[in-house]
């Protein structure tokens, strides 16, 4: 498993890492030619894979006192609530503009292939909340950086950033400094 340094940490052992890697399917040329998409739907469909992934994510974050797990739509919603439950924390969601019904704050960000924005309810975080940023994938870091900006604007404290998969060759980890970054699976090519 990848740690904050990006090196194998052996958090839940080689067997767990092999299980998770075996459940991530490579889909070439999706959503565009030249992209190798990491499909986690087989992992989500496997009770063992899902349990191991949520347990390992929670174990990585367990040393931090977490009040809220914050994730962006839609992929962060897959494991984020289960992670929050395991950490005895609340869950907050950031969505695309116009999707949340109450007063919001917004952060714009750049993607590998364009730009976008995320909104968070202005009252989503209690004052001084200790927030864990979570997503299924860390690529260039734009989405997670926008989440960090939203937390900071609302007066929260970021205890770390947690990812199922990290595409190390895209440099997202560096964009999130000085925050601690943990990922379960890292791909460097």
Tell me the pLDDT tens digit for each residue of 3-60.
Answer: 443 333 444 578 999 999 999 999 999 999 999 999 999 999 999 999 999 999 999 9
Q: Is the residue at 80 inside a domain?
A: yes
98 backbone φψ class: left, alpha, beta (φ>0; ψ -120 to 50): left
Q: Is the residue at 110 inside a domain?
A: yes
Mean pLDDT of the chain: 91
What range does the domain containing 105 cover? 64-187
Which of 59, 73, 75, 153 is an active site residue?
Answer: 75
Q: What strand order describes the sheet that includes 130-138?
A: 90-94, 68-72, 130-138, 157-167, 181-187
What pLDDT is recorded for position 41? 97
Which of 21, 51, 112, 174 is an active site residue?
Answer: 112
Q: Which residue has the higher pLDDT, 113 or 108?
A: 108
- CATH code: domain of residue 79: 3.40.50.2020
CA distance 164 to 77: 12
Residue 75 falls in the annotated catalytic set: yes
Q: Is the residue at 3 inside a domain?
A: no
pTM: 0.91
Task: Report yes or no: 168 and 138 within 8 Å, Cβ to Cβ.
Answer: no
Task: Report yes or no: 147 and 119 within 8 Å, Cβ to Cβ.
Answer: no
Q: Is the residue at 145 inside a domain?
A: yes
Mean pLDDT of 144-159: 97
Q: Is the residue at 133 inside a domain?
A: yes
Q: Is the residue at 48 inside a domain?
A: no
Q: Is the residue at 164 inside a domain?
A: yes
Q: Is the residue at 7 inside a domain?
A: no
Which CA distances in Å does 20 have to 24, 42, 46, 107, 146?
7, 10, 10, 32, 28
Residue 21 falls in the annotated catalytic set: no
Number of domains in the chain: 1
């Amino acid at each position: 498993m990848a740690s904050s340094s990006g090196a194998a940490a052996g958090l839940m052992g080689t067997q767990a890492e092999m299980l998770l890697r075996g459940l991530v399917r490579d889909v070439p040329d999706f959503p565009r030619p030249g992209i190798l998409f990491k499909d986690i739907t087989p992992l989500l469909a496997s009770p063992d894979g899902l349990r191991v992934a949520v347990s390992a994510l929670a174990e990585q974050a367990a040393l931090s006192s977490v009040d809220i797990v914050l994730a962006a739509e839609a992929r962060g919603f897959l494991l984020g609530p289960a992670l929050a439950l395991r950490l005895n924390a609340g869950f907050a969601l950031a969505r695309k503009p116009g999707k949340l019904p109450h007063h919001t704050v917004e952060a714009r960000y750049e993607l590998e292939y364009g730009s976008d924005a995320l909104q968070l309810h202005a009252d989503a975080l209690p004052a001084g909340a200790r927030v864990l940023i979570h997503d299924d994938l860390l690529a260039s870091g734009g989405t997670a950086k926008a989440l960090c900006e939203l937390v900071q604007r609302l007066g929260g404290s970021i205890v770390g950033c947690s990812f199922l998969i990290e595409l190390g060759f895209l440099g997202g980890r560096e964009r999130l400094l000085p925050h601690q970054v943990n990922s379960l699976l890292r791909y460097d090519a």
